[in-house]
Structure 1
């Protein structure tokens, strides 16, 4: 058996490669199931939005409790104002656009995770076959970089758009009666997907370079 064949056999026997392969398959199945539930849930919410649906929204509301109140455990620092940042309740008459944008954000996140799993599946399959520097690996890594950047950025933008289209939600709580306004921040996107995509692109370039060296040396004795 030649040295390249021995290395290929060693790669096939790596338990870590098999583990990633199995996990990737599991991620694809889970992503498909979650995508189905998200779509079904969105349709159910749209059908019952006039009668009331369970909804979670962000807000900024001061708590009517003195800072630094006496407590046996942890307490808010005196002189600061605590705030509620999330509210959960059954809400009526939410706009359809708010519901659709929110669920599309979740759906894009799940589909992005599924796309990542597919790329990892291709890479681990190629490595498991003893071809770590095949063109499939570099192409899959490049595709993975695009999926990570576009998918998570799009999900963040859709979530922000959902919050911006959400109207004020009126409610009543003990010692407070008024309108709780959803926190509609400015349209923006996270920075980390760009960093992750840049790292994956660099890794793909390494695989392409290694594949070129392999091709150049394949005819040497």
Structure 2
């Protein structure tokens, strides 16, 4: 079952193995938790050799970070509603739908609690969040192209402002992730550096005056 390096075509067996490993990891992670997950169990569930897993993911932490990134990518596709506010609202609702699942909350709490002093853990966490923010920057790029945002808008800061309150409730307070939170979080993100004011001004210029 051991693979020969360099012999796999892109999109061929290597891609299938990666997909199977990440799916098996997510399934085991969500059903049984982080502590019960091992490389051996993942390899068995994915029907690949353990060496196949270790070749791409040097540790369980890296494997879990990649599996969570893939889960978020599949279940939280980057929305394209045609407006910045619509995209932010849709994105946050997707995030909330995912993190409201009890099994996902358990995993998030576990991953966040992993030793911050471990360089390997820090790199894996960075890779996970980098993957999440990389997709969300498409929202900002489209908004810049439409003239809704200035070109120097920092995508990371905008998405942080949007998602931070939801993650704070998941990780700290346990308060409900309700529609009021969505409204407040979207407003916070849009108000960042006057974004809300700029968008409102654009809407006023585009709309006919009520005074005729």
Higher relative contact order (CA 8 A, sep 6+): 1
The two structures have a TM-score, normalised by structure 2, of: 0.28
The two structures have a TM-score, normalised by structure 1, of: 0.27
CA radius of gyration, larger in: 1
